[in-house]
Amino acid sequence: MVQKDSNTSSKADYEGNALPDLPDLSWMDKTFQWGTKALPEKNGGGLTLDALNIGIYGDIPEHYPYRNRLPRGAVPVPSAGSIGGYYVQDKYEQWADSAALLYEEGISRRWSTATDIPWETGHGLSEDVEIAIAQVATELSNWGSVESEVVSAWLQNLSPGYHEVKYFLSTAVYDSARVEEGYRKRALLNGAGMMLESPGRMNRACLETYSGWSQTVLTMWLLRGSLMTAIVRYLSVYGPTEADRELAFRILPDILRKSAYACDHIRFAISKKSELTDVFQGTLQLAEFAQLSDFNDPVLWEALAIIFGGGVQNMELGMGRVLELQQHFLSVYLGRCKQANVDRTTQVANGPWGAILAGIPITGHTSADEMRAMIEEMRERARDESAR
């Protein structure tokens, strides 16, 4: 091995003394825009994600080709290569203008099911009502579990170039897990325990929507999210104990943030590619079939009727409130569809869901033929009254 003369140096001071070689610090000028400063919001909101989108860092490309976890605005290193994943690389496939704001809201609304729910108020119910609330809690917990798994699986496929979306979705995973956790606690609070799982057709539709992230969002947060909104909203008012009402009240904003992202994202996707309107209509039609299939399982509706009626003996009274809940679900769902520019009003009114709009709850107690006959009878009566 050739030894380097320690007395020789390419650098010397003014007296000729050798100076040590300095490290190569050429990396220090590797930035696209030196001097760009993000400032906290003037209204006291702090240093938000939106405040970072200035200069070149506010340029959000329509396509992000990097598959090596390159942060948006960073200088790429050719040797980094590809680590796989990140197949969803176009902005229209995932973006929502509200994602950053929804993330900020999500992390600011911190609460815990362990300490922020007055669990001591959740006792003293009759056995039938306790069993019913445990059944509803089991199904809601199941839905939360499915949501967290679905979003977690998609995160590795969404491009890191749209980090605002990924930040928000990370809060959505947490919020969904909190639904699972909170309602599992409710089911176990008084000894009833976990009851029957949901029929699972809608769960499967959410888990197996392979055609794209947008289609998953439509199925899980536009359609099923509307039903979850209706159930939790009614429990926040008509829950049998203060603990039930507070738990639902706390969870409701978490659900609404996910639905807000869904509407904003689908509207943005259609604004970029109008042909997606027909694709999304088809997605919702298939999802509605899955949701309708679950509707025909009577367990959830009977449990809610027992809760709303105050016991098995008043289930008929409770079924009246179940009909209101189902009508509220369709109102929320159709409103969100319009907001997302995929109007489903005509299709829903003329399809099986029309029974609910006509005042007939779908609870699995009536066959399809019987329901058609009931709807036709109601329409005939309405025509007779209008002819008088």
Per-residue pLDDT of the chain (388 residues; tens, 9 = 90+): 444 444 454 677 778 888 777 787 888 888 878 888 888 888 878 999 998 888 888 889 999 998 888 888 888 888 877 777 789 999 999 999 999 999 999 999 899 999 999 999 999 999 999 999 999 999 999 999 999 999 999 999 999 999 999 999 999 999 999 999 999 999 999 999 999 998 889 999 999 988 899 999 999 999 999 999 999 999 999 999 999 999 999 999 999 999 999 999 999 999 999 999 999 999 999 999 999 999 999 999 999 999 999 999 999 999 999 999 999 999 999 999 999 999 999 999 999 999 999 999 998 876 656 655 655 665 666 666 677 6
User: What is the tens place of the pLDDT at every residue in 14-23?
Assistant: 788 887 777 8
Look at residue 85 and give its three-state secondary structure: coil
> Is 196 within a domain?
yes
User: What is the tens place of the pLDDT at every residue in 234-261?
Assistant: 999 999 999 999 999 999 999 999 999 9
**Nearest CA to 83 among 29, 146, 156?**
156
4-28 core/surface letters (b: 16 or more CB in 10 A; e: else): eeeeeeeeeeeeeeeeeeeeeeeee
**Nearest CA to 51 among 35, 36, 61, 38?**
38
> Is 50 within a domain?
no
Q: Which pLDDT does position 18 carry in this prediction?
A: 81
DSSP β-bridge partners for residue 12: 18
Instruction: List, in order, residues 6 or more apart from 320 with CB less than 8 Å away.
Output: none
Phi, psi of 46 (to 5 degrees): 85, -170
Tell me which residue range forms the domain holding 128.
91-346
Phi, psi of 90 (to 5 degrees): -100, 145
> Is 388 within a domain?
no
Q: d(Cα 280, Cα 383) in Å, to the nearest integer?
A: 35
Q: Which pLDDT does position 366 carry in this prediction?
A: 66
152-161 core/surface letters (b: 16 or more CB in 10 A; e: else): eebeeebbbb
Half-sphere exposure of 232 (CA within 13 A, CB side): 26
> Is 198 within a domain?
yes
> Is 299 within a domain?
yes
Instruction: Indicate which CATH number applies to the domain containing 262.
Output: 1.10.620.20
Q: Which pLDDT does position 180 carry in this prediction?
A: 97
> Is 327 within a domain?
yes
Q: Which pLDDT does position 377 carry in this prediction?
A: 66
Answering whether pTM is above 0.85, one says: yes
Q: How many helices (H) and strands (E) does the chain have?
A: 14, 0
> Is 82 within a domain?
no
Q: d(Cα 30, Cα 58) in Å, to the nearest integer?
A: 19
Q: Where are the alpha helices (DSSP H) in the chain?
A: 49-52, 99-108, 127-155, 163-188, 201-207, 213-217, 224-238, 242-272, 276-295, 298-309, 315-339, 345-350, 354-357, 368-387
Domains: count for the chain: 1
> Is 98 within a domain?
yes
